[in-house]
Amino acid sequence: MKIMIAGDYQEMSSIAANIIAEEIKKKPDLVLGLATGSTPLGTYRELVRMYKEGKLDFSRVITFNLDEYYGLSPTDPRSYHYYMYTNFFNHVNIKPENIHIPDGMAKDVEEECRRYDEQIQKAGGIDLQLLGIGVNGHIGFNEPGDELLTNTHLTNLAPDTIKANARFFESIDEVPRKAITVGLGTIMKARKIILLASGREKAKIMAELLDEDAVSTKVPASFLLLHRDVTVLMDKEAANIYLKKKDGCCGTVGV
Ligand code: GLP
């Protein structure tokens, strides 16, 4: 596991975008796994900038998003569909047929999950997976529990997640209680993974994750310790507790 600590959010976002850009340059038909939430917004902004400056071409890139709220339509401004189009897809030359996001309105959810896994498999699996992390250690919407599922599935959101994501809704009651998420198996099969963490709310979970030499279904992100190509990229705020514990002080590990 490679750990990188950026000075601030902007630097973290530029580094993430540069890693993604390099992978696209090496493999123009890269299969890119994408995340939502506040954390990757700066990365998407940087990728859009590179595209607009003529430095990056998404015409052959294939994307698979990690998750979608169950019961929200693609046109709902709070859906991850809407987020992805407004923050990224509408501003680059990706082909609409190369974009994949689970359908939160699917009548037959099991079939939708099966279809999604099939599409990922047909594309050859994920080459590069971008991840954020929940305050409770979730990745995608794989929530802490007694077991973690490997394939795409409908999941109940944890109370911590509902609380954390309430900021995107008018009230906590409006946060969907369920979501469709790719499973941990799909994430772990990605050839390369970048985990982003930003801000002080993530400092506790990042210290927990990076200090432990154990995996647990109670911290789904801990399974990333078993992956052979993970870059953990944090800003200073998210790395704060980890650095204090590590150095007994508050030093900074540069990138
Ligand atoms: C959300 C998403 C995750 C995301 C995480 C952190 O609920 N399902 O994919 O990584 O929670 O979100 P944020 O970046 O807003 O803190």
Distance CA 23, CA 232 (A): 17
Instruction: Examine the pLDDT at 222 and tell me if it is beyond 70.
Output: yes
The residue extents of the domains of the chain are: 2-254
Mean pLDDT for 91-118 is 98
| For the CA of 161, the nearest atom of ligand 1 | 7
pLDDT category of residue 157 using cuts at 50, 70 and 90: very high
Q: Please state, rounded to an integer, the average pLDDT across all residues of the chain.
A: 95
Lowest mean pLDDT among 71-75, 112-116, 211-215, 219-223: 211-215
- Across 215-223, average pLDDT: 96
* pLDDT at residue 211 greater than cutoff 90: no
Q: Is residue 229 among the annotated active site residues?
A: no
pLDDT at 213: 83
From 130, 136, 138, 209, the mutation candidate for ligand 1 (largest count of ligand atoms within 8 A of CB) is 138
Strands 192-197 and 128-131: parallel
Q: Over the stretch 175-202, which tens digit does the pLDDT of each residue have?
A: 999 999 999 999 999 999 999 999 999 9
Q: Of these residues, 23, 46, 65, 67, which one is catalytic?
A: 67
CA–centroid distance, 165 to ligand 1, in Å, is 8
The model's confidence at residue 84, banded by pLDDT at 50, 70 and 90, is very high
List the CATH code of the domain at 2-254: 3.40.50.1360
Q: Does 53 have pLDDT greater than 50?
A: yes
Active site (annotated) includes residue 118: no
- As a whole number, mean pLDDT of residues 47-74 equals 98
What's the confidence (pLDDT) of residue 169?
95
Q: Taking CA 227 as the corner, what is the angle to CA 226 and CA 232, rounded to the nearest 5 degrees?
A: 105
What pLDDT is attached to residue 253? 46
Say yes or no to pLDDT of 251 above 50. Answer: no
What is the predicted pLDDT for the residue at 245?
85
Query: What pLDDT digit, counting tens, does each position of 5-27 carry?
Result: 999 999 999 999 999 999 999 99
The predicted pLDDT at position 250 comes to: 47
31-52 exposure pattern, b = at least 16 Cβ within 10 A, e = fewer = bbbbbbbebbbbbbbbbbebbe
Ligand 1: centre distance to CA 49 (Å): 23
On whether the CB atoms of residues 209 and 175 are closer than 8 A, the answer is: no
Interval 229-235 mean pLDDT:
98
76: annotated active-site residue: no
Report how far ligand 1's centroid is from the alpha carbon of 37 (Å): 4
Of the residues 23, 112, 117, 136, only one is catalytic, namely 136
Give kind and range of the element (H or E) at residue 238.
Answer: helix 236-247
Does 136 participate in catalysis according to the annotation?
Answer: yes
Mean of pLDDT values over 160-174: 94
Give the pocket of ligand 1 (CB within 6 Å). Answer: 35-39, 66-67, 132-134, 140-141, 161, 165
Residue 252 pLDDT greater than 50, yes or no: no
- pLDDT at residue 248 in the model: 61
One-letter amino acid for residue 47 of the chain = L
Contacts for 218-222: CB closer than 8 Å, 24+ residues apart: 218/137, 218/144, 218/145, 219/137, 219/144, 220/137, 220/138, 220/139, 220/142, 220/143, 220/144, 220/148, 220/184, 221/131, 221/133, 221/137, 221/138, 221/139, 221/195, 222/137
| Ligand 1: residue whose CA is nearest its atom 3 | 140
Residues 6+ apart with CB under 8 A from 99: 63, 84, 89
Output the pTM of the full model: 0.95
